[in-house]
Each structure stands twice: as C-alpha cells, then as structure tokens.
Amino acid sequence: MKILIAGFQHETNTFAPTRASYQSFIQGEGFPPMAHGADVLKLRDVNVPIGGFIQWAEAQGHDLIPVIWAGASASAHVTKDAYERIAGVIVDQVRKGGFDAIYLDLHGAMVTEHLDDGEGELLARVRRIVGDEMPLVVSLDLHANVTARMVELADALVAYRTYPHVDMAETGLRAAHLLARRIAHGKPFHRATRRVPFLIPVNGMCTLVEPARGMYATLETLEKEVVSLSFAPGFPASDFDECGPVFWGYALDQESADHAVDALYTRLVDEEARWDVPFLSPDEAARDAIAASRDASKPVIIADTQDNPGVGGDSNTMGMVRALLRNGARDAAVGVIWDEPAARAAHRAGVGARIRLALGGGSNVPGDSPLEGEFEVEYLSDGRFRFDGPMLNGMSGELGPTACLRIEGVRIAVSSIKMQVFDRNLFRAAGIEPERMKILVNKSSVHFRADFEPIAGRILVAKAPGPMAADPADLPWRNLDASMRVRPMGPTLAALRASAA
C-alpha cells in the first residue's frame, strides 16, 4: 500500500495564560520539533505514535507518504494562524492523492482560536476530499476529549493506555494493526461509544495506581472479544460542550461492540468515588516532605500540579518555592522554572555571582507573584540534553540558556524554554543531581512518575496557585455541557450555576 501519514498534536487548556503559536510547534516544547516530508521518518525510533506506525509500515514493505509532524506543549488555544498553516499542509497533500490509506497521529483535545474541535475539523476537511471509502485511522492521547464528529469520520480511533504515556509508539502500532484489519475486512467496523457523565481530575488518571490501572486491565481483557477498545478519561480543562471521558470500541457485530463498551462504562460509573483525588496545600506538602526526608535514603517528590506546563501552565509560579523557604527546607530543588530573563541574567553574571532578581511569577495567577531576593548562581549550561527516561528515550531536548539559582536551602533550575519535568535530565541540565536531593518539586502532574518513581521515597501532590486547576470543579466553566458533573461525586454544572445565582 501507499499510506499518507501526518501528525498534529496539542492539548488545549482554554483557561491557560499562553497560546500556542506556529513557533511553539517549530520548537516542539518537549515534543519533537516540527518535521516536514522525509524528515518525519526520522521519528521511527522516537516514542511517539507515528514512530510505531512507521516501524510497522516499513517492516511490511508499505510505501509511506510523510507530510508533517508538529506538536507543542499544552497551553491555551492554538492560534488560527498555526492551525491553518499546519492543517493546510496536511490537506494540500491529501488533495494531491496517490495513496491507498491515511494514518493521522493526533492528540484529541485541540481547541483553536476559531474551532472547538480541531481534530474533528481536520478529519472533516480530509473526508471531503477522499470520500467515505478511504481507510482512515487515528491514534489519540489518553487525554483526548473524543467528539462525536471524530468517531463518525474515522474508521478507527485508538488511544494510549498509560499515563505516564510510555506506550505512545505502541499505540501507533495498534493503529497500524487496526488499519490492516480494516482493509482486510473490506468495510467499516461496527462501533459503540459511551460518554461518562462526570469530569475526572488529571491526577486521578495515573495508570500506575488504582482505579485507572484496574480499568485498563479490564479493557484489555474485554478487548479479546472485539476488534478494539479505548478509554480516554479526557482533558478536563477544555471549555466546550464535549469535554469529558469517553469509552469507544469496534467489533465485527454491533452487539459485541455495545456489550464491551457498556461493561466498561458500568464499571467506571459504579466506582465513581474512587476517581476523586485528595490534594495538599503548599505548606502541608512542604512540612510533610521535610519530615519524611529527614531519615530517608531517597528524595521526597512534590508534584506542583497546578503549574504543570504539560497541561497548560507556564511553569513559573512561586507558591511551592515560598512554602519550602517558609518552612526551612534544605537540600531541596525545584524545576524547571521558565524565566528567560532570569536565566540570561545569571549567564551574564557568571557562576559564583550573587544577583538580585524577581524570579518567576509571570502567569498573573491570583495568589502568585515573582519571588524577589538574592540568588547565588551555582551552575550554567546551554540547556541541551538527552531524554534517558521512558517517555521520549533517546530524543534530544533543549531548554535554552539554563541556570541553577540557589536561595537559602533551595536550588532552582531556571530555563529559557518551557518544558514539563518528565525526565531527570532536565534537572541535570541545570547541574542538579536529582538523586542527591532530599526534596524535589516537579512542575508536572503525573508524567514525572515514569522516570522519577524509581528514585522516590514518597510522592506528594500539592495544590499551589497555578493556571491549571487540579480540581476541575474550581474552573470557571462557560461552555461545558450543563449536565456534566464537574468532578467525581460532584454537582452538575447546572447545579453549580443555580447555587451561585
């Protein structure tokens, strides 16, 4: 076969402070940088879905027509300019024809300045050109907000099953197997979908622990009776009417598809209370970490979840830094703070210098502000590193000019490029050996667990001020379906509005 392949990934937090520009996709911001044409094939050995698909296609002897791959860190809306330029490249290549099938590596939670459903619109534009008979399969992130339009327009959608996302390339391989089976079948599969009536906090979706671990184990057991099953818990910060968790599946008959999807839906709804998540205040987290670390042989890790750049934060709030300082923390490290002016000031001053700065605090989040003080410059680098952890293993990363700034007993890794801390080497790029620290504060929610859990004595989740509300009930929803419950066991949006009236 000749298969057209492309990728366009963005997880949109419509409440976040910073939008995703075309330049964001050029840089990648933790994803591989934008690739065009034959350069897309260089992703074959990277743990992203298109990498798994490329490996399968080449092994099977298929010809690939690589178009573009573009991803950017979670943020507010994708600009209209960025969407139209990247989607336009894909659609223009589709219009040229000359292929037998299409594979798209998408996220599933993209909201743009002019579109609520970025993926659904892209699929619609492609279908208008190729018609309904062209086999088209799509891989999705576990955090996809799967819309009715996406389900209708794709022959098959398949989502990650791990969070942290260590199975991205494996999901591309699953998409490849679905494509082969769809073509062998000769016609579309029967499909079933069920939309869950409540939002799930991001921290509650971790598949290393219950209840998500058990849910995906059940999914894999039930999948033996059908063609494919997927569950996307959703991204609970995209303010549009189809935000939320969805189950879907494909089978050779409708009854089998319905039975499998209904069984998963029933289990989740019956266990609704288990999907709720407790959080600590910054001072509670700092005090607990200090106490637990006194005699510990491994670092205590605090997830600064509400400023996670992987879900739309700008990675520069100072709430956890202030809490560590207030409580007298020692041998603590915080990473990575995105503050290019501070990093450049440190480079101008040089290692060993003491400089006065107003660090971070640039997101205009209520309860947060820059941390003013005198910092010692302990380490400087160009910010280039390699990912050695499970998620993007082997890929190169770049933080731009990077510094380690020390204030009292706290070391702070400061970068010029925004990136979530899901690999220990981000700390090492700032000269900090994470294993030697008593306390680590990570600007991350769950992804850090893939590389940091083996060195963690304990993991705490803190709810310091930040642009991404860890509890979706705290968000000022305007366009969410009013019948959705805003958290497990919580009220519907309609009920919240009535109580506030």
Same structural domain for residues 445 and 482?
no
pLDDT of 172: 98
Domain boundary (150, 165, 188) is at 188
* Whole-angstrom distance, CA of residue 286 vs CA of residue 29: 29
Residues 149 and 248 in one domain: no
Question: Which of 150, 170, 188 represents a domain boundary (last residue)?
Answer: 188
Instruction: With beta carbons less than 8 A apart as the criterion, state whether 455 and 435 touch.
Output: yes
Label the pairing between strands 246-251 and 228-232: antiparallel
Q: Position 153: which residue type?
A: L
pLDDT the model gives residue 274: 97
Which of 171, 188, 205 represents a domain boundary (last residue)? 188
Are the C-beta atoms of residues 5 and 51 closer than 8 Å to each other? Answer: no
What does the pLDDT read at residue 398? 94
Residue 245 to residue 50: CA distance in whole angstroms: 24
Which residues, in sequence order, are CB contacts of 454 under 8 Å at separation 6+?
none
Residues 6 or more apart whose CB falls under 8 angstroms from that of 1 comprise 62, 63, 99, 100, 101, 183
What is the domain range of residue 297? 282-462
Q: Are residues 359 and 449 in the same domain?
A: yes
Q: How far apart are CA 456 and CA 434, in angstroms?
A: 10
Of 304, 321, 289, which is closest to residue 411 (Cα–Cα)?
Answer: 321
pLDDT at residue number 300 = 98
Give the burial string for 240-257 (b: 16+ CB within 10 Å, else e).
bebbbbbbbbbbeeeebb
pLDDT on residue 472? 94
The answer to whether residues 208 and 453 touch, using CB atoms and an 8 Å cutoff, is yes
Cβ 114 vs Cβ 102: under 8 Å: no
Tokens in use for 449? 């667990």
Q: Are residues 48 and 7 in the same domain?
A: yes
If asked whether residues 130 and 179 sit together in one domain, one would say yes
Round to whole Å and give the CA distance between 299 and 296.
7
**CA–CA distance, 190 with 156 (Å, rounded to integer):** 10
| 206, 498 Cβ separation under 8 angstroms | no
Q: Is residue 299 located within the same domain as residue 440?
A: yes
Shared-domain flag, residues 205 and 312: no
If phi > 0 it is left, if psi is from -120 to 50 it is alpha, else beta; for residue 449 that is: alpha
Residues 24 and 170 in one domain: yes
**pLDDT tens per residue across all 501 residues of the chain:** 999 999 999 999 999 889 999 999 999 988 999 999 999 999 999 999 999 999 999 999 999 999 999 999 999 999 999 999 999 999 999 999 999 999 999 999 999 999 999 999 999 999 999 999 999 999 999 999 999 999 999 999 999 999 999 999 999 999 999 999 999 999 999 999 999 999 999 999 999 999 999 999 999 999 999 999 999 999 999 999 999 999 999 999 999 999 999 999 999 999 999 999 889 999 999 999 999 999 999 999 999 999 999 988 999 999 999 999 999 999 999 999 999 999 999 999 999 999 999 999 988 899 999 999 999 999 999 999 999 999 988 889 999 999 999 999 999 999 999 999 999 999 999 999 999 999 999 999 999 999 999 999 999 999 999 988 899 999 999 999 999 999 999 999 999 999 987
Question: How many structural domains comprise the chain?
Answer: 3
Separation of alpha carbons 348 and 170, rounded Å: 44
Q: Are residues 318 and 449 in the same domain?
A: yes
Beta bridge partners of 341: none
Residues 138 and 216 in one domain: no
Do residue 325 and residue 443 come from a single domain? yes
Could you count the other beta carbons within 10 Å of the beta carbon of residue 125?
Answer: 16
Q: What is the DSSP string of 295-323?
A: T-SS-EEEEEGGG-GGGT--S---HHHHH
Is 81 in the same domain as 122? yes
pLDDT of residue 468: 85
Q: The domain spanning residue 119 has which CATH number?
A: 3.40.50.2300
